[in-house]
Amino acid sequence: MKRTFDAIVVGAGPAGSSAALTMAKAGLDVALLERGEFPGEKNMFGGVLHRLTALEDVFPDFWNQAPLERHIVKKALTFMTGDASFNVNFDTEESDKPPYNGYTISRPKFDRWLAEEAVKAGATLMNRSTVDDVIREGGKIVGVTLLRDGGELRAPVVIAADGVLSFTAKKAGLRRPQFDPSHLAVGVKALIDMPKEVIDDRFGLVRDQGASNEIVGCSQGVRGGGFLYTNYDSLSIGLVLHLSSLSKSGKTPYDLLNDFMQQPQMAKQLRGGRLLEYSAHLVPEGGYDMIPEIIGDGIMVAGDAAAMCIVTGLNLEGINLATQSGVLAGKAALEAHQNRDFSKSGLAVYRRLLEESYVLKDLKLYRRTPEMLHNDRIYTQYPEMLCGLMDEIYRIDGTPKDTMTKLLLRTAKQKIGIKNLLADVYQGWRAL
Ligand SMILES: Cc1cc2nc3c(=O)[nH]c(=O)nc-3n(C[C@H](O)[C@H](O)[C@H](O)COP(=O)(O)OP(=O)(O)OC[C@H]3O[C@@H](n4cnc5c(N)ncnc54)[C@H](O)[C@@H]3O)c2cc1C
């Protein structure tokens, strides 16, 4: 197959479909290439889909159009030790009104829907089309080759939106051949079947309300955290584990996940559920310092392929950044077509648009967060300190009480050490 388009998008995930939708709506002839049987077939995430402001003019009542599971009204942060847990819950009526702040979704359904919207706008979606390499002419990228049938597609501009490992960006020489393992995490997830009424009763939800819980201290000392999210009639439970720390531990993600699911606090919430599937995927966690070159002659990189993902421990933001960067790459391609300039400088507007948007502003703001999250104390000593403190506060055993300040200082001294605590507070203040 040999064809020529105005633009080629590699990968029909949230970044790629958003880019294709933007360009197709403006009248460009766009190829959207996806290696899966259909968009989303191989995609997974935790996860909470945060509000997609980049697509709000296209889908003003997004919540009525997109295939969503539940909108999140309850957010919790849990610190856990082997036998205790301490929760902070945030529950607001505000998040029960559209435009909702976040949703649980099924990626196979959501990604397929978004790609179909791009097709409705005029894009040509090609499933089972794995991009093998980029085509260069005179130093410029002018198309891609496909693994299947020696296919060759040409376009003056290519958008690499093929996810965290982006072979397209690698082949284009925009990212280093090897990743720094401290920049990557692996996410493992179990999907648990559970009737809607059981989920509603167990988590205190009504209608399509949903709950999310981020959990610290559940990964046996491996840096990372756990999550539990309510879907319509299933639960997503999983762990996101820093690759460097995981490989040092010698433990496997699936053993850690199984142990996590059997912890009494989690087992109670999963009771009666049936395991539907396990899945795993990498997460780019290196933040701003992981971002590769995002523009070359005839090419731009968007979404996870450009490491546009923010992990703070409270939130994981990936799809919103992927969508925003996809839309902006699409707009930059439109401008390049107007000016007939697809060179690196002709596409430089993409960087400017990203700098002006929340994408690069937030990535810069949280630049020091990945370093903070490499502090092992967060995953062991702090959950122990908080659970120990609560235990002391609530215990009534006939002995005289201490003041709160004394209790706090004593527990902090025992579990963390005052010098470490001060250093961690300073690091946390700089990172968040
Ligand atoms: C465990 C876990 C939890 C997460 N939790 C959250 C969360 O709560 N909230 C959030 O916003 N984000 C979360 N994320 C991150 C989020 O999933 C990503 O940031 C987002 O999917 C990035 O979108 P993308 O379009 O850039 O890449 P992807 O979603 O990875 O899509 C890339 C697409 O490209 C295709 N592709 C790859 N290579 C080729 C090729 N050579 N040729 C053709 N097609 C190709 C793939 O099949 C895929 O469809 C989580 C991720 C994980 C793993």
Q: Give the whole-angstrom CA distance, residue 305 versus residue 2.
A: 26
User: What are the tens digits of pLDDT across the range 297-333?
Assistant: 999 999 999 999 999 888 899 999 999 999 999 999 9
Q: What is the pLDDT of residue 263?
A: 94
Same fold flag, 2-68+105-176+292-356 and 181-284? no
Q: What is the pLDDT of residue 388?
A: 92
C-alpha 304 to ligand 1 mean position (Å): 6
The position carrying tokens 């949280």 is 366
pTM: 0.95
Residue 94 DSSP class? G
Determine the pLDDT at residue 93: 85
Q: What is the mean pLDDT of residues 135-148?
A: 96
Question: What integer best gives the mean pLDDT of the chain?
Answer: 95
What's the average model confidence in pLDDT over 262-269? 95
**Nearest protein Cα to ligand 1, atom 6:** 47
- Cβ of 72 below 6 Å from ligand 1: no
Report the distance separating Cα 294 and Cα 325, nearest Å: 11
Residue with the nearest Cα to atom 37 of ligand 1?
Answer: 162
- 1: pLDDT confidence band, cut at 50, 70 and 90? confident
Ligand 1 close to Cβ of residue 47 (< 6 A): yes
The pLDDT of residue 68: 96
322 lines ligand 1 (CB under 6 A): yes
Domain ranges of the chain: 2-68+105-176+292-356, 181-284, 371-431
Which pLDDT score is estimated for 309? 97
Q: Measured in angstroms, how far is the CA atom of residue 172 from the centroid of ligand 1?
A: 20
* Ligand 1 binding pocket includes 86 (Cβ within 6 Å): no
- Whether residue 317 has its Cβ less than 6 Å from ligand 1: yes
| Start-end of H helices in 251-380 | 253-262, 264-270, 319-339, 349-356, 358-365, 369-372
45 lines ligand 1 (CB under 6 A): yes
Q: Between 8 and 149, name the one with better pLDDT.
A: 8
Tell me which DSSP letter residue 143 carries.
Answer: E
- Three-state SS letters, 51-93: CCHHHCCCCCCHHHHCCCCEEEEEEEEEEECCCCEEEEEEECH
Q: Which homologous superfamily does the CATH classification assign to the domain defined by 2-68+105-176+292-356?
A: FAD/NAD(P)-binding domain (3.50.50.60)
Most confident of 149-153, 187-191, 406-410: 187-191
Question: What is the position in ligand 1's atom list of the atom closest to the CA of 46?
Answer: 3
Tokens in use for 425?
Answer: 């507070």
What tens digit of pLDDT does each residue of 64-98 get? 999 999 999 999 999 999 889 999 999 988 899 99
Two tokens, residue 206: 């009504």
**What are the tens digits of pLDDT across the range 379-406?**
999 999 999 999 989 999 999 888 989 9
Average pLDDT over residues 15-23: 98
Tell me what pLDDT residue 431 has.
85
Residue 159 φ/ψ, nearest 5 degrees: -115, 115
Is 6:29 a contact under the CB 8 Å cutoff? yes
Buried/exposed code over 291-321 (b: 16+ C-beta within 10 A; e: otherwise): bbebbbbbbbbbbbbbbbbbbbbeebbbbbb
Q: What is the CATH number of domain 181-284?
A: 3.30.9.90
What is the C-alpha to C-alpha distance for residues 410 and 158, in angstroms, rounded to an integer?
A: 59
- The yes-or-no verdict on residue 47 having pLDDT over 90 is no
pLDDT, position 100: 93
- Tell me, using a 6 A CB cutoff, whether residue 43 lines ligand 1: yes
Nearest to 32 by CA among 149, 93, 108, 111: 111
